[in-house]
A and B are shown apart, each in its own frame.
Chain A
Amino acid sequence: MEKEITINKYINGELTGSALSQFEALLKEDKALAEEVQFHKEVDKTLAIHEEVESNENLKSLLKDLGKTHIQNKPLERVDSSTQTKEAEIIANPEIFPENEPKIKNLNRYAWLAAAAALLLFLFVPNMLKKSNPDLADHHFKLYQLNDTEMGNGNMDQLYKKAKANYADGQFKEANVLFREYDQAKPNVPKVWLAIGSAEFKLNELDAALLSFQKVIEMKDSEVYHPQAYWYLALCYLKKDEAQQAIHQLKKIKEGQDFYSEAKRLLKKLQ
């Protein structure tokens, strides 16, 4: 058992002093062990980077915005001489490029499309009666409930109470200004960020809400709030119509934790 503990501590970079030297000497002797340790380190590093990039909502939101501007909305540019593609050749050869086919062929295509649409309607009308993902998110969303505990000294407590009152009244913008002011003075209170995220959800500022709930998970000693954060993260993704991401968050809620039964029910609807 001790060997396993030492290997794990080494991979985590937690071995120091003579224990580290001894283990490094052992690695030089035992090639199989060295290879195994190297493998685990590589897997850890790879997974950590994957997780880091995939959960970088700021970057993803930037790419999404740039995509909207430069790929989705911008009209298709003519092919210039330096970027001659075969597409340009195809434009001159209507038999390859469908857009330049004679109109009668296009009519044929529309007939096929109409038939396909009719078939799709026939097959999927029952599914169309189901709630969409954003509707499901709204249906399940309940504002995070702040309790009445004292939140710091006199002034701080007042600020918190004012923010909380705005929050309860549905004045989410005003509430968040005050919550953030509170956070400046007393940072990283998980429930404050759960409230900020909830308010952002209500304001439909979903990318900001994702960051707020993610922040709760990253806070030190915030484990007790993780199930709530996962639940709200899932609802944000669902509202953004990103069901896979929502499922991923819901699966993180473990049996016996808050929101477990709700997560289980929602997962059933999504899978």
Chain B
Amino acid sequence: MPHEDKKYINGLLKEEVSIIKEIYKKWGPECKRFVLSNSGNVQDADDLFQECLLTILKHAKLHKIELNVPFGGYLYFIYRNKWIDTLRKRKNEQLRISESTRYTNELTSKALAEETELVNERMLLFYACLYQLSDFCKTLIDGRLKKMSSKQLMNLLKLPTANAVDFRMHKCRKQLKKLIEQHPNFEELFFRSKPKEK
């Protein structure tokens, strides 16, 4: 049965200002405290919180999130894990996380947060591979993502027929698939059975 906090996911999906405001009011200060006590500043906290909400939104748009846990715990594990990644990237040698005891036992929230994170990492991998394609393929795939018709793409890329657009699109998609499958993180992101420990 979905948790009553599902309203926060729905609010994000519908971009309801009152709900998003409530999320900020309820959990923004908590995220700020977490970042400030773990080598970050207020700007980091603001950026992190925004990034987390966009990550949740992307996950919710891609797959239906079955939220059967409180939103606060789910959100906490997302910003906690993202922040640990940020600190690792900043090469913070003495990584000692001071964290909330409020959510420690919410293992289901933690698992859902890790799933959201995995979806986001896959998304970033696809995007990174898209940007390795030729300009022609990028424009073609980008145009299709923006729902341009074959005729529009035909004119934009100066292709002779709509069939030529489909043919070239298929070739580009194949190249993209190859890049994705050759990416060093592909195996880990698509075939790992257990989320990485943090």
Contacts and interface: CB of A to CB of B under 8 A. Distances in A.
Interface of A: 1, 4-5, 7-9, 11-12, 36, 39-40, 43-54, 56, 58-60, 62-64, 66-72, 74, 76-77, 79, 82-87, 90, 96-97, 217-218, 221, 223, 252, 254
Contacts of B30: 83
A179 B136 CA distance: 35
B127 A50 contact: yes
Given A4-B171, A223-B152, A47 B145 contact: yes
Chain B: interface size category: 35 or more
B135 A40 contact: no
A62 B20 contact: yes
A254 B140 CA distance: 13
Nearest to B45: A71
B102 A4 contact: no
Contacts of B32: 71, 76
Nearest to A64: B50
Contacts, number: 152
Main secondary structure of the interface of B (DSSP, over half): helix
Interface of B: 15, 17, 20-21, 24-25, 28-34, 36-37, 42-43, 45-46, 49-50, 53-54, 57-58, 61-62, 98-102, 122-124, 126-127, 130, 135, 139, 141-142, 144-146, 152, 155-156, 163, 166-167, 169-171, 173, 176-177, 180
A47 B127 CA distance: 7
A56 B17 CA distance: 14
A254 B62 contact: no
A85 B75 CA distance: 16
A85 B126 contact: no
Main secondary structure of the interface of A (DSSP, over half): helix
B102 A71 contact: no
A72 B36 CA distance: 12
B37 A85 contact: yes
A43 B57 CA distance: 17
